[in-house]
Amino acid sequence: MSLFKKSVVLIVLLLVLDQVVKIWIKTHMMLGEEYSVFGDWFLIHFIENNGMAFGMELEGQWGKILLSLFRIFAVCGIGWYLYDISTKKAPLGLVISIALIFSGAMGNIIDSAFYGLIFNDSYYQVSTFMPEAGGYASFLHGKVVDMLYFPLLEGRFPEWLPMWGGEHYIFFRPVFNIADSYITIGVTFILLFQRKYFMKEHK
């Protein structure tokens, strides 16, 4: 099996895992509901967002459309790059890293593009798959499902600290999903091993 075909298999497996978890969350939990996995420092906490990784977003409907279109163009570019380096026998680590980033971006695009069409909303109810009354939003206006929450540390900043003195803090505050994890891992690998990856690719 060629390196590119192996990367496609990896992407399919990663996307299946991401979507199975999101669909389970969407069809078994209401917004804001949470379960403890390991004490108070690892929670499954269901939220939805309109935007980028780790809950960041662009405001308004036009922001949502622009972000969705940007994602689609970005995924096309990443997919072409993945094909290019796979056929040129780039380092395996680089191919896996790009496949992770592609899978993460694609996983969140699926939410944004289709979840509004195939689910009703999750406010005060558990969402239904393919409801008779239709979905909660149009194409490209769906929301991304997030659920992984790691509030490892919580407390207040010392009063003497400039700007944030006395304010409450939680680390790590963002709620994210498996697709976000793929992107983070892929980018981290590239940053850590860029000399190894790109020197071999150049040769």
pLDDT tens per residue across span 115-126: 999 999 999 999
- Separation CA 195–CA 183 (nearest Å): 20
Which candidate in 18, 111, 121, 180 is catalytic? 180
What mean pLDDT comes out for the span 74-81?
Answer: 96
Q: Is 121 exposed, middle or buried (0-12, 13-18, 19+ CB in 10 A)?
A: middle
Average pLDDT, the chain: 89
> CA geometry: angle at 95 spanning 91 and 96, to 5°?
115
The tens digit of pLDDT for each residue in 158-179 reads 888 888 888 888 888 899 999 9
Told to judge if 146 belongs to the known catalytic residues of this protein, a careful annotator would answer: yes
Q: How many residues does the chain have?
A: 203
- Report residue 87: phi and psi, to 5°: -75, -20
Told to judge if 111 belongs to the known catalytic residues of this protein, a careful annotator would answer: no
Half-sphere exposure of 178 (CA within 13 A, CB side): 18
pLDDT band at 62, cuts 50/70/90? low
pLDDT band at 50, cuts 50/70/90? confident
Domain residues of the chain, as ranges? 3-49+60-198
More confidently predicted of 147 and 67 = 147
Quick check: 104 and 182 in contact, CB under 8 A? yes
